[in-house]
Amino acid sequence: MAKINGNYLELQGSYLFAEIAKRRTKFMSENPGADIISLGIGDVTRPLTPAVVSSLHAGVDEMSNEKTFRGYGPEQGYDFLIETIIEHDYKARGISLEKNEVFVSDGSKCDVGNIQEIFSQDSIVAVMDPVYPVYVDSNVMAGRAGHFNPETKRYDGIVYIPTHAENQFIPSLPTQKVDLIYLCYPNNPTGMTLSKEELKKWVDYARDNKCVILYDSAYEAYIQEEDVPHSIYEVEGAKEVAIEFRSFSKTAGFTGVRCAYTVVPRELKAYDESGNAVALNDLWNRRQTTKFNGVSYITQVGAAAVYTEEGRQQIKQLVDYYMTNAKMIRDGLASLGLEVFGGVNAPYIWLKTPNGLSSWEFFDKLLTEANIVGTPGVGFGRNGEGYFRLTAFGSRENTQRALERINKLSL
Ligand code: MLT
């Protein structure tokens, strides 16, 4: 008899964005003419930049020629992409990395979801609350989260660290033993950042307590302020304790193309049952070579174009476009008297729902009265209740129209 992985039965409801899509579809079937504006899931809307497009075309041409055709590539990614990543994303910031420390993949969601596999089943996981749901759900699937407690609305095996307006969204260090710490900066969903000093506290904590930090930096390209760290490796000692995830999805409009990378430094160790230190780089390499066959050559050629001079200029324009939307949303909502956070170094605006509405009540109000889809804060965790997330990834026109509609609501 085939038995299921019972851990899956511990998952709560459906994946947040699937639930939102379900509600949107229901509304549309009941209101067929409704002109819905989606500022919910953080999905990009601008087309690929010209430098990337011509590089993708060149990749296709190579693949269509017998002499330059390629079959399986290295599971870890092609050297030409890895070298340019190291040069521009790290060396330019004074961080040295070896080629075998960078693993190209088809997305950060997969990598942050899969990384937990290389850690012990009994690892204690710490997440911020609110949090990107993949960190929690992937550990639930692995049986590391314990049971969901409907009263506390939390898994009893996970350590949640609250962030909210009262602590300026700056998480405190754990007060109980933890092994794995998920950090996401610039933060999804709150759009907030951590200063280098704050980040250093986490690195020092991880070094003192033999923890590993899983640092999701998918929104790094959106950092505007000078003093915000772009990589956790800007902090001394971080290579001993942190894995960093970066993505081309939000940086270069690759959500539908799929390319990302993960840095697993050689210095980074975790421990076996006898307390011997083991290089996590070897384990991740073993995992990837077994379960992953690499990102397509064409995609990697396209990703490499992001780093050319032309490519970098175009990416900057792309980021500026979305960040102008972010400022419009921030300023527009603030002028209505709403309390808004984020949107300065990230494409997400996190707002306090007006008049004490719950997150889902505000979702329904926006959907039914303004035909706007956003993301209820509570979908990211208990502490997200009473908050709501809007994305700056819409088109300029839709962002403008959404603000006009919100302006007309009685809030
Ligand atoms: C989000 O809306 O939070 C993101 O689109 C999720 C993701 O990148 O997977």
What does each C-alpha distance from 31 to 26, 28, 34, 322, 376 come to in angstroms?
9, 5, 6, 30, 21
Nearest residue (by CA) to ligand 1, atom 5, is: 42
Q: Looking at ligand 1, which atom is closest to the CA of residue 134? A: 9
Ligand 1 geometric centre to CA of 66 (Å): 39
pLDDT tens-place string over residues 225-259 = 999 999 999 999 999 999 999 999 999 999 999 99
pLDDT tens-place string over residues 67-86 = 999 999 999 999 999 999 99
Is residue 166 in some structural domain?
yes
Res 278: pLDDT: 98
User: How many distinct structural domains can be found in the chain?
Assistant: 2
Measured CA angle at 127 (ends 207, 45), to 5 deg: 115
Res 239: pLDDT: 98
Q: Comparing C-alpha atoms, which of 216, 152, 139 is closest to residue 178? A: 139
Check if the beta carbon of residue 142 is closer than 8 Å to that of residue 136. no
Check if the beta carbon of residue 248 is closer than 8 Å to that of residue 303. yes
Read off the pTM: 0.97
List the structure tokens of 293: 């066959």
Could you say which DSSP state residue 238 is in? Answer: G
Say if residue 162 is in the same domain as residue 260. yes
CATH code of 208's domain: 3.40.640.10
Ligand 1 environment, Cβ below 6 A = 41-43, 109, 188
Nearest residue (by CA) to ligand 1, atom 3, is: 42
pLDDT tens-place string over residues 99-110 = 999 999 999 999
List the structure tokens of 180: 């794995």
Res 15: pLDDT: 75
Ligand 1 geometric centre to CA of 16 (Å): 10
Q: Looking at ligand 1, which atom is closest to the CA of residue 188? A: 3
How many C-beta neighbours within 10 Å does residue 172 have? 10
- For the chain, the distance separating the N- and C-terminal CA atoms, rounded to the nearest angstrom, is 56
pLDDT beyond 90 at 13 = no
Q: How confident is the model at residue 17 (pLDDT cuts 50, 70, 90)?
A: confident
The length of the chain in residues reads 411
Ligand 1 geometric centre to CA of 43 (Å): 7
* Cβ neighbourhood burial of 247 (10 Å; 0-12, 13-18, 19+): buried
Say if residue 201 is in the same domain as residue 234. yes
Nearest residue (by CA) to ligand 1, atom 9, is: 109
Is residue 41 in some structural domain?
yes
Q: Looking at ligand 1, which atom is closest to the CA of residue 218? A: 8
pLDDT beyond 80 at 42 = yes
Say if residue 170 is in the same domain as residue 183. yes
Is residue 81 in some structural domain?
yes
Is residue 305 in some structural domain?
yes
pLDDT beyond 90 at 50 = yes
Mutate to test the pocket of ligand 1, among 41, 182, 391, 393 (most ligand atoms within 8 A of CB): 41
* Mean pLDDT to the nearest integer, 389-405: 98
Mutate to test the pocket of ligand 1, among 15, 17, 19, 136 (most ligand atoms within 8 A of CB): 17
Ligand 1 geometric centre to CA of 346 (Å): 13
Is residue 336 in some structural domain?
yes
Final residue in a domain of this structure, among 309, 336, 352: 309
pLDDT tens-place string over residues 323-377 = 999 999 999 999 999 999 999 999 999 999 999 999 999 999 999 999 999 999 9
Say if residue 134 is in the same domain as residue 95. yes
Q: Looking at ligand 1, which atom is closest to the CA of residue 41? A: 2
Check if the beta carbon of residue 48 is closer than 8 Å to that of residue 253. yes
Q: Comparing C-alpha atoms, which of 251, 259, 219 is closest to residue 106? A: 259
pLDDT tens-place string over residues 117-156 = 999 999 999 999 999 999 999 999 999 999 999 999 999 9
Nearest residue (by CA) to ligand 1, atom 4, is: 42
Ligand 1 geometric centre to CA of 249 (Å): 10
Res 1: pLDDT: 97
Q: Is the peptide bond before 189 cis (omega within 30 degrees of 0)?
A: yes
Q: Which domain holds residue 343?
A: 7-47+310-408
Ligand 1 geometric centre to CA of 44 (Å): 10
Mutate to test the pocket of ligand 1, among 45, 114, 131, 188 (most ligand atoms within 8 A of CB): 188
